[in-house]
Amino acid sequence: MESRKRTAPTTLSVMTEQSFTPPLTGEEMMAANPYRPWSARITSITPLTEKETLFEMRIIDDRVREAFHHHPGQFVCVSIFGVGEVPISISSSPSKSGFIEICVRRAGEVTTALHNMQCGDIVGLRGPYGTPFPFEEMKGHDVLLVAGGLGIAPLRSLINNIHDQRSEFEKVTIVYGAKTPGEIMFRQQFEQWSHRPDFDFYLTIDKPHPDWTGHVGMVTEAFKTLEVDADNTYGAICGPPVMYRFVVEEMAKKGISYDRIFMSFERHMKCGMGRCGHCQIGHQYVCLDGPVFNYWEAKNIQGSM
């Protein structure tokens, strides 16, 4: 056999500046280095509640921006260098192209730093990640969407996407619960919609409040009066961990098939790509196999609910 002596140890480079010239497709973009955030500019900031703010962002590089396509239910990892990186659901509909909106609660270090930023500031974005809601599959059916608290952030992407293609869907029912009237997000939009004939809106707050004349009670209260065409309905749930068990049960009681009840899970996340292990439940990665799971899948994951 011919000798192929290699030169004494040299230094190789995992990646050069060159390999990072933005490639054309989303896959190529990821292949270069999936950990690399891309610069995005904050183009608008809308305070929603005391703790939550809506940020609109635009990826700066043209080719990366054009390659970026998301589906309702997916998330991005948002970086502020020197502070850290956090997973945040995309709150805007894919039909709003060129920009993405995220709705962020001030919860800790990174989310606070984000709240301190101004219009025009730069953040890092990578993604989109995760398994989305089955938007195409839902077409031609009734949809029943239930959100609690911050759960409205990812569901809003689905809601707005359905809105933009409203004729493709049958009956659309949205149940949204917040603790207090002040914590209702996108209140104006939803109050307007509650008068529309093509959306059944059920807005509720946990406890009676002087400024509130609408429904009071948990989101499960809505199910007492809801009429559900079980064979023709897709359900989607997003909210705090305690909410799932109760809402799922209500949906199942109405007769919706387990594989048509979808929910989005939240777990600690670091990588977003099925590797760091933080989001693991049972044999699944919430970041990769989820965050959206159907009830059947969730039941089969040890420790999911």
Partner 1 sequence: MLYRVIDTDELSSLIRGFMDDYEFIAPVKADRGYVFEVVDDPSKVELDYVTTITSPKKYFLPSEEVLMRYSAEENEITDYSVDIKPRVIFGVHPCDINALNRLDLVYKDAPYPDPYYIKRRENTLIIGMSCMPGPNCFCNLFGTDEARMGADMFMQKIGDKYIISLSSVEASSTLERYCNPQRATDEDRKEFRRATREREAAFNKDIPHVQEIAMMMDVFHRDEFWTELGNRCQSCSACASVCPTCFCFDIFDRLDPDGKNGSRIRSWDACTSPEFALVAGGHNFRGDNRRRVRHRFYHKLNGFTGSHDYQLCVGCGRCVTACKANINPIEVLKFFDRKGAEQDGE
Ligand X SMILES: Cc1cc2nc3c(=O)[nH]c(=O)nc-3n(C[C@H](O)[C@H](O)[C@H](O)COP(=O)(O)OP(=O)(O)OC[C@H]3O[C@@H](n4cnc5c(N)ncnc54)[C@H](O)[C@@H]3O)c2cc1C
Would you count residue 51 as binding ligand FES (CB under 6 A)?
no
CA distances from 136 to 8, 20, 145, 185, 191 (A): 56, 34, 16, 26, 27
Q: Give me the half-sphere count of Cα atoms (radius 13 Å) on the Cβ side of residue 223.
A: 19
Query: Which residue's CB is nearer to ligand X, number 128 or number 235?
Result: 128
Q: Do the strands 233-238 and 215-216 form a parallel or antiparallel pair, or are they unpaired? A: unpaired
Q: At its nearest, how many Å lie between partner 1 and the CB of residue 106?
A: 10
Contacts for 19 with CB less than 8 Å, ≥ 6 apart? 32, 33
Half-sphere exposure of 274 (CA within 13 A, CB side): 10
Q: How far is CA 141 from CA 49, 138, 167, 231, 260, in A?
A: 33, 6, 11, 9, 11
CA distance 80 to 86: 9
- Residue 103 touches which member of ligand FES, ligand X, partner 1, none, C-beta under 5-8 Å by kind: ligand X
Q: Is 5 in the site for partner 1 (CB under 8 A)?
A: yes
Q: Which is nearer to ligand FES, 36 or 275 (CB)?
A: 275
Cβ nearer to ligand X, comparing 51 with 254:
51
Q: Interface with partner 1 by CB under 8 A: which range of 4-12, 130-138, 162-170, 243-251?
A: 4-12
Q: Does 188 bind partner 1 (CB under 8 A)?
A: no
Task: Kindly state whether residue 287 participates in binding ligand FES, applying the rule CB under 6 A.
Answer: yes
Contacts 24+ apart (CB under 8 A), 277-284: none
Q: Are 223 and 196 a contacting pair, CB within 8 Å? A: no
Shortest distance, position 197 Cβ to ligand X, whole Å: 30
Residues 235-254 within binding reach of partner 1 (CB under 8 A): 241
Query: Is residue 277 within the footprint of ligand FES (CB under 6 A)?
Result: yes
When the beta carbons of 105 and 141 are compared against ligand X, the nearer one is: 105
Tokens of 140: 């031609």
Which are the contacts of 22, defined by CB distance < 8 A and separation ≥ 6?
A: 29, 38, 61, 63, 64, 67
In contact, 89 and 70? CB cutoff 8 Å = no
15 vs 107, beta carbon nearer ligand X: 107
Point out which span in 15-23, 113-121, 225-233, 284-292 binds ligand FES (CB under 6 A): 284-292
* Count of chain residues binding ligand FES (CB under 6 A): 13
Burial of 62 per CB tally in 10 Å (0-12, 13-18, 19+): exposed
User: Which residue number, 56 or 266, has a Cβ lying nearer to partner 1?
Assistant: 266
Q: Which of 52, 85, 101, 200 binds partner 1 (CB under 8 A)?
A: 85
Minimum gap (Å) between residue 150 Cβ and ligand X: 6
Report what 291 binds from ligand X, partner 1, ligand FES, none; CB cut-off 5-8 Å by kind.
ligand X
Interaction of residue 43 with partner 1, rule CB under 8 A: no
Q: Which is nearer to ligand X, 48 or 205 (CB)?
A: 48
List contacts with partner 1 (CB under 8 A): 1-17, 20, 30-37, 39, 79-85, 107-108, 111, 121-124, 241, 266-268, 270-271, 273-278, 280-285, 288, 302-303
